Amino acid sequence: MSVTKSHHNLDVVHHGIVLISDENSTSRSSRLLLSKDELCIQVIDDGTAEPEEAKETLMENATRQVVIVKKPDSGFGLSIKVSGGNHMKMDLNIIQGGSENAQNMPIVISKIFKGLPADECGELFIGDAIVEVNGVSIEGQSHDEVVNMLKSSGDQVTLGVRHFTHMTPFLKPAQSLQPDSTLDQLFDGRSSRSNKAQSESRFSDSKWQQHIGGQEKKWKTLTSLPLAMAYVTRYLWGTDNIRTNSFEVRAVDGRSSGIVHCEDTAALEQWIAHISKHILSLNHKSIKMSNKYLHQSEQISYIGWVNEYLNDDDQEELKIRWQPRFLILKGSDVCFFDVPPLNSEDLNKCVYLYKCYDVAVKQVPNTSPRRDKRDNCFLIETPMQIPNHYLSFESAAGFELFEQAYYRTVYNTITQMQSRTFACNFEGRPSGIVFDIKQGISLYDIPTKSYIWQYRFRDLQAVADDGKLCVQLSFTDDRSLNPDRIEVKDIECEDVVTVVFNLHSFVLAKIVSTDPDYLKSNRYVGNAED
């Protein structure tokens, strides 16, 4: 069922009754509410909710006045940190919001330091948004203007704050998407929480009702998962076993929806389509937000989850063969992360980093031999002495989205680079093989300081290499004396794989500039055992 309902300024775009189970197959009837930025899990209110639950729900919408007083010879103990990397020492982190924020995000407290005034007052929490400074609303104020308001407050400041629970997961240190115990509350009959930072989401005071057996039922919210950079999968964790009419959503902080069991395939496809659409939309907004603070040469063009096949034999006993990776195309870089980077510092903490022109992306067709039953597989081949990355997307559309972003990344990088030269030997003479986006492929003879041959990229017919030292280039040449008008050039170079991958990248960029549709039906194809 796809409807739009407004509740406390939220648009619920899809909802329905499902069964949710944990890893032990214990299941419970639940209701899912999907908004543009959250997936909310509710169960029928059986009266076991803790009294404090209602108080914390009210805290979500109420503005609280908090007074912070400076200590002698110290400040308020605040440190305001701008998301793009700017930093101002005030001993309390606040991510950037304000009028310069394209997503209209509030200025939210991300960290409170122990022993400082903000901590000792006991009334500020992670997830609190500053809405007033000394009784003056900050609505419409820029981040810098709010900083100046705090600085000019004297020895005491009164902050009007409001709790935004849906922001809290993004302000905590990122965790890997490993199975956790967050589903315990779904099966113990009550909704527990350890502190106010885990209070109910914006859906928590929902009074939506359902008639079951002639009686009116009320629902209570157990948890809400933010969809930005979330991960949705139909596979049993770490395996190639696909669940029947079931899926799972994992938030950026590692919390899980549990296994969501749908009534039939049609319902399953609806849920996955709706959730994936909003994850994609939020990821796109995250890209735009991040790019505001990145240099033009470091712009992000793609973010998303992919699964990597593990080559570690130690995982065989656990039957875990696949691990989620967060993939980012940034500037000319292909970056692999275990968890999504949530700030500029995290962007430098990737597990693997390659230049887009130093790798080759090859699709593994579903009709070809694969390593197991997972579909939508592809290879990222590298010139390094490590196994190639064997990866899988949840859907064909996911791979196509990445593939098109990769093509654009290569094209933009190569057009900015213009040319690359690699040292080599040709016919026993020291030379340089030159790839130039405008001039094509040429060979520079070092002793004579001259170019001895040159071809256009479209003249290139075949490339072959031994993976060690030699690469062979075959060109169409109307001047050739050979009957087939093919000229073969044998070149020796130390890093032959890098040379070949760079040549592929230049050819790819040339194709994108002239006939991008050609690549949709003429992909690089790899073998699962490459």
Identify whether residues 77 and 154 lie together within a single domain: yes
In a domain, 97, yes or no: no
- For the chain, the straight-line distance linking the first and the last C-alpha, in angstroms and rounded, comes to 44
Identify whether residues 284 and 304 lie together within a single domain: no
Q: Say which residues have a Cβ less than 8 Å from residue 509's Cβ, sequence separation at least 6.
A: 410, 411, 413, 414, 415, 437
Q: Residue 76's pLDDT is what?
A: 72
pTM for this predicted structure? 0.72
Identify whether residues 312 and 365 lie together within a single domain: yes
Identify whether residues 338 and 381 lie together within a single domain: yes
Taking the C-alpha atoms of residue 284 and residue 301, their distance in angstroms, rounded to an integer, is: 9
Task: Among 169, 192, 218, identify where a domain stops.
Answer: 169
Identify whether residues 308 and 371 lie together within a single domain: yes
Identify whether residues 364 and 283 lie together within a single domain: no
In a domain, 179, yes or no: no
In the 3-class helix/strand/coil scheme, how is 242-289 assigned residue by residue?
Answer: ECCCEEEEECCCCCECCEEECCCHHHHHHHHHHHHHHHHHHHHHHHHH
From the CB of residue 461, how many other CB atoms can be counted at a distance below 10 Å? 15
Task: List, in sequence order, the alpha helices (H) in 65-201.
Answer: 117-120, 143-151, 168-171, 184-187
Q: Residue 525's pLDDT is what?
A: 61
User: Which H or E run contains 399?
Assistant: helix 396-417
Q: Residue 102's pLDDT is what?
A: 40
Distances (CA, A) of 18 to 23, 190, 289, 417: 16, 19, 35, 52
Identify whether residues 289 and 303 lie together within a single domain: no
User: Which H or E run contains 521?
Assistant: helix 518-521
Tell the burial category of 135 from Cβ atoms under 10 Å away from its Cβ (0-12, 13-18, 19+).
exposed
Distances (CA, A) of 516 to 404, 412, 506: 9, 13, 14
In the 3-class helix/strand/coil scheme, how is 55-75 assigned residue by residue?
Answer: HHHHHHHCCEEEEEECCCCCC
In a domain, 249, yes or no: yes
Task: List, in sequence order, the alpha helices (H) in 62-203.
Answer: 117-120, 143-151, 168-171, 184-187
Identify whether residues 323 and 355 lie together within a single domain: yes
In which residue ranges of the chain is pLDDT below 70? Answer: 1-10, 23-25, 47-61, 74-75, 77-106, 109-113, 126-127, 143, 163-216, 312-319, 522-530
Q: What is the CATH number of the domain that holds 73?
A: 2.30.42.10
Domain that holds residue 118: 63-83+106-169
Identify whether residues 401 and 305 lie together within a single domain: yes
Q: What are phi and psi of 325, to 5 degrees?
A: -125, 145
Q: Residue 528's pLDDT is what?
A: 57
In a domain, 302, yes or no: yes
Task: Among 244, 269, 293, identify where a domain stops.
Answer: 293
Q: From the centroid of its chain, how far is CA 177?
A: 12
Q: Are 300 and 350 in contact (CB under 8 A)?
A: no
Q: Residue 7's pLDDT is what?
A: 44
Q: What is the CATH number of the domain that holds 283?
A: 2.30.29.30
Phi-psi region of 79 (alpha: psi -120 to 50; beta: other; left: phi over 0): beta
Taking the C-alpha atoms of residue 224 and residue 187, their distance in angstroms, rounded to an integer, is: 16
Question: How many domains does the chain fold into?
Answer: 4
Q: Say which residues have a Cβ less than 8 Å from residue 330's Cβ, sequence separation at least 6.
A: 294, 298, 299, 300, 301, 347
Q: Residue 412's pLDDT is what?
A: 94
Taking the C-alpha atoms of residue 98 and residue 289, their distance in angstroms, rounded to an integer, is: 13
In a domain, 194, yes or no: no
Identify whether residues 323 and 383 lie together within a single domain: yes
In a domain, 240, yes or no: yes
Q: Would the CA dihedral through 287, 290, 296, 298 be positive or negative?
A: negative
280-286's contacts with Cβ under 8 Å and 24+ in sequence apart are 280/401, 281/36, 282/36, 282/37, 282/227, 282/228, 282/229, 283/228, 283/229, 285/102, 285/103, 285/228, 286/228, 286/229
Identify whether residues 448 and 498 lie together within a single domain: yes
Q: Would the CA dihedral through 208, 212, 214, 215 be positive or negative?
A: negative
Q: Residue 140's pLDDT is what?
A: 74
In a domain, 251, yes or no: yes
Task: Among 239, 262, 293, identify where a domain stops.
Answer: 293
**What DSSP string runs through 494-519?**
S-HHHHHHHHHHHHHHHHHHH-TTHH
Identify whether residues 306 and 399 lie together within a single domain: yes
Total count of residues recorded for the chain = 530
Residue 75, both tokens: 């400040």
Taking the C-alpha atoms of residue 265 and residue 244, their distance in angstroms, rounded to an integer, is: 8
In a domain, 366, yes or no: yes
